[in-house]
Structure 1
Amino acid sequence: METLVASARENSGAQARGLTTGEPDQPWFRTWAEVHADALRMAGALGDDLGPGRVVAILAADPGLIAPAVQAVWLGGGSVTMLHQPTPRTDLAHWAEDTVRVLKMIGARLVLLGTPFEELAGVLEESAIVYRDLAGLTGGEPLAEPVAVDEDATALLQLTSGSTAEPKAVRITHGNLYANLRAMVAAVDLTPERDVAVSWLPLFHDMGMVGCLTVPMAIGMSAVKVTPADFVARPLLWPELITRYRATVTAAPNFAYAIVARRMARADDGDFDLSSLRFTLNGAEPIDPSAAQSFTDEGARFGLRSNCMVCAFGMAEATLAVSFAPLGRGLEVDVVDADALEQQRRAKPVSPDAERARQFALLGHPLPGLDVDVVDDAGQQLGERQVGRLRIRGAAVTPGYLTVDGPLSTKDEDGWLDTGDEGYLVDGQVVICGRRKDVIIMGGRNIYPVDVERAACQVEGVRAGNAAAVRQDAGSRRERFAVVLESRLAGDENAEKALRKEVAARIVDAVGVRPSAVVVLAPGSLPKTPSGKLKRAATASLVPSN
């Protein structure tokens, strides 16, 4: 029996611990033993649809249904793919077309359909996609005995949320998943008897699926799960649930901490009690030290420890986590000279009050079982504080992708995977500068889009986390960049003009170069992946041609 499923079965007997869903309207608690019992019944009901090598896709939002369904597929020897979910703005015809391509690419024979997507059954039928009602799978005879698979068998096909139109799935094996799970548990000293996780992260994203559902389920730790829609509708539900359930662990991308910090600043004393939190994991997107600091600063009024922030580097190709900053030290930054970084590709330390200082969050040492190094374009290993291509290898690193053109290996002959990130190492800790393909090269300087975007978002009227710097004429002598942002001022000609002027001036102050254009859009207009990341290629098309 593979260690992942064995661990979940072994720890399902913790009667006092389990999964709470349905907040804030209809809280529903089930012990992990009850979740496991439902999983066995689901596996029994699915029968011949499960088995080694069988791929089952899930389209549902309710974590209370998803948790036993995922375990059921694993108990039956199959692998799970969480389909990207349509939103109210999604064109269902396009969604159906993309979903059919994904299902064919991964070889899925079945979709488990659940709340609130039952109405999409007709769309699936029109596309000849076989589906089963997720809510109707718990009434049958339970699976008599879990199906044994080896550690090289696929457990999870994680759909990537990149900016290209072509779908791709990361093939995560049972061995990958269990190795990363154990490494994370060790790195932050997770203890089922003590720790409680609260999360609103989507289960079709690796941080939500692996970190905030699979880990608690496998080790028998209590978890409270709501949906991203719940968070978007009322961001302060997050600290409310932390207060109510005395959560010790939570995780989110940087933008969410920035949003909640602003909301907490307007809350009354005593509205929340965040004193139970041991650590708040910050990952899945570039970390803005000022935004992370604002969360801990505003949270202090509600008992939040100043050293609770744990900055992380992760990617689906490593199952989830690559490195965690040391527990209990809080946000730590490396301050470097911007000119040396941009022109010499060297992270030269300077004082925080230096004229052109850059701050990067320290992302910690690689987790147990993982190695990280930095190489130049020729593949030669670089020394400390030299900026280059980040590579990873180890037990949690995927053996490959599934693509529309067939399987694709991810590693070189020595087992290294190129992350696509530029960064460096300092005292063994990982620092990320940005995605290599997004770096803007002007006058021999490497300008990182995140610096431009943070400068734009500091301007009053720009929606936090909703600015994108995009390359123009990349690789040519005319290379430059434009900025596309969201603002509630969109449509007001005079207000837009003033906003564009102020944004351009702030960017010049930050990076010393003026954008070719500043495009102002209404809220909700920026193209994003299903997990909320900016789609730079699609965003570039919104910049008017000269």
Structure 2
Amino acid sequence: MPFLDKIQRWANERPDNTAVVVAGRRLSWADLRDSATGAVPASAGVTVLAETNSIDFPVRFAAAVAGGRQCAVLDPAWPTALHEEIVQRLEESAQPFPVSGDDPLADGPPDSTFLIGLTSGTTSVPKAFTRSRKSWQRSFEASIEFFGLRPDDVTLAPGPLVSSLNLYALAECLYAGSEFQTLESFDVGDVHAAITHDGVTRLVLVPTMLRLLSERGLTGCVDASGVKTIICAGSKLDARTLEAARRWAPNATIFEYYGASELSFVSGAGLAAGEPLDAGGTGIGHPFPGVEVRILDDDGSELTAGEAGNICVRSGMVSNGYLWGDDGQALRSFDGWFTVGDQGYLADGELHILGRRSDMILTSGKNVYPHEVELALASIPGVAAAVAAGMADDLRGQRVVAGVVPSHGGITATQLKAGLESILPRDKRPHQYFALSELPTTDRGKVSRNMLLEWIGSRDQRVRHLER
């Protein structure tokens, strides 16, 4: 029971109320129910949905999961050859329930698979994992409680619906009977217009989007006082983004959380309006409702408080596992405790994130997590944002390099080194610093450390080596 029974309920109780708005085009609850019902007969047992944002997307998604149907959501920007490869693998691997053109717009069995998720990737075939209807229902109940989503909220998620963050936000709103809005593509002016004119009370987005919206909103005097909730995912918020968001949306509780597509929600924290800013640390709050967290070593033994290891989760929201791509490491289980390899530790019940094991930099025999370096750099005055990565080094194995976007004017390597002296151990400090004209980000707004290394290697015009 992910959300189709809820669509039926809201369509019966308040048929003319707005359910979804995409780039100004509106669907009422009755429109959504009737359009999705009409699309069910043409929906196969497994539907591949690879579309840009449009008013048709929620209709097709709802129809694609009716009964025992399954939906695989693909990024339309992926190459054609990759799409074809995924479709072929789905035909070989997926095992849908039998479907009929006469099926109603209704949810299938709770334990059955309804969503086939794919990890993002353009150079190789992404891993495919599956989620049951029951796991998403439990996720909805946990996130609605944690974030305080109400039926009278208006949620705007301005990113692509094929992204798991925005797809979940859409489905969560359908479950809660709350209006959902998005755009055809992310545009700062269009987001500001929606906030000003459409009564948006809730934003779901990544940190890079929040920084742009907040800083330009302050410059352009865009009133965001009606925004009550801001939910950020993808990376921890830096001090500058937090400060700008607080000034631009002074009445908003700002949430950041940790989770993974295979695990769902793990932990999170909300900074209420008026509370002192707390930026720069690695803490990411306490476990979500219904979630237990432990830190285990590679043998599955529990570590003591403060010791770093695998962040492991036990909850009813965890995915079923992989259709393909399981190398035995991507999603591991220690007697029912699941991990995707993210590293962290617990202190006073709060989860601290160090980063992905795959991102770890091994330099001169020491383990360095880029996340720690980035948070430290972002706390230095004059730094708007930072990204760190490990570059191949004949002597050290890897050396830590960092790129920073100056907040104003220029900044020197000497200033950065001095700023890190008291907050980052010497063996974790970068060996080289670069000034960036912008952060290296993917088309989904996520910071890419590999892209930083590519820019440095190709001497891209967006990167400049910082001398003393």
Structure 1 match to 2:186: 230
Change (3 A) 1:243 1:41: same
Structure 2 match to 1:348: none
Structure 2 match to 1:491: none
Q: Is the partner of 2:295 in helix, strand or coil?
A: strand
Structure 2 match to 1:8: 7
Q: 1:312 is aligned with what amino acid?
A: Y
TM-fit CA distance, 1:223: 1.6
Structure 2 match to 1:283: 233
**Equivalent runs, 1:5-154 vs 2, <5 Å:** 5-13=4-12, 14-23=14-23, 27-44=24-41, 46=42, 49-50=43-44, 54-86=45-77, 95-107=79-91, 143=102, 145-146=104-105, 149-154=108-113
Q: Following the alignment from structure 2 to structure 1, what is the Cα–Cα distance between the partners of residues 295 and 164?
A: 24
Percent of matched pairs sharing the same residue: 21
Structure 2 match to 1:137: none
Q: Following the alignment from structure 2 to structure 1, what is the Cα–Cα distance between the partners of residues 103 and 56?
A: 21
Say how many residue pairs are matched. 448
Q: 2:261 is aligned with what amino acid?
A: A
Q: Following the alignment from structure 2 to structure 1, what is the Cα–Cα distance between the partners of residues 369 and 297?
A: 18
Change (3 A) 1:433 1:236: farther
Would you say the 8 A contact 2:36–2:60 is kept in 1?
yes
TM-fit CA distance, 1:413: 5.3
**Equivalent runs, 1:311-350 vs 2, <5 Å:** 311-319=256-264, 321-326=265-270, 328=272
Q: Is the partner of 1:325 in helix, strand or coil?
A: strand
Give the alignment partner of residue 171 of structure 1, picking from 122, 130, 133.
Answer: 130
Structure 2 match to 1:200: 158
TM-fit CA distance, 1:448: 2.8
Q: Following the alignment from structure 1 to structure 2, what is the Cα–Cα distance between the partners of residues 294 and 202?
A: 24
Gaps of 5+ in 2: 95-100, 459-468
Taking structure 1 as the reference length, what is the TM-score of the superposition? 0.71
TM-fit CA distance, 1:290: 3.7
**Equivalent runs, 1:448-459 vs 2, <5 Å:** 448-453=369-374
Q: Following the alignment from structure 1 to structure 2, what is the Cα–Cα distance between the partners of residues 422 and 408?
A: 13
Structure 1 match to 2:243: 293
Change (3 A) 1:538 1:168: farther
TM-fit CA distance, 1:18: 2.5
Would you say the 8 A contact 1:402–1:408 is kept in 2?
no
Change (3 A) 1:266 1:65: same
Q: Is the partner of 2:292 in helix, strand or coil?
A: strand
Cα deviation 1:320-361 (Å, max 9, x = unaligned): x223325747777778xxxxxxxxxxxxxxxxxxxxxx5234
Q: Is the partner of 1:472 in helix, strand or coil?
A: strand
Q: Is the partner of 1:359 in helix, strand or coil?
A: coil
Q: Following the alignment from structure 2 to structure 1, what is the Cα–Cα distance between the partners of residues 249 and 277?
A: 20
TM-fit CA distance, 1:95: 0.8
Judge which range, 418-427 or 498-507, deviates more: 498-507
Structure 2 match to 1:397: 318
Change (3 A) 1:331 1:176: farther
Change (3 A) 1:359 1:144: closer
Structure 1 match to 2:336: 415
Change (3 A) 1:332 1:400: farther
TM-fit CA distance, 1:480: 1.3
Taking structure 2 as the reference length, what is the TM-score of the superposition? 0.82
Would you say the 8 A contact 1:310–1:326 is kept in 2?
yes
Cα deviation 1:393-417 (Å, max 9, x = unaligned): 2111001023257999934252221
Q: Following the alignment from structure 1 to structure 2, what is the Cα–Cα distance between the partners of residues 474 and 78?
A: 50
Aligned-residue RMSD, C-alpha: 3.8
Gaps of 5+ in 1: 87-93, 111-141, 336-357, 488-494
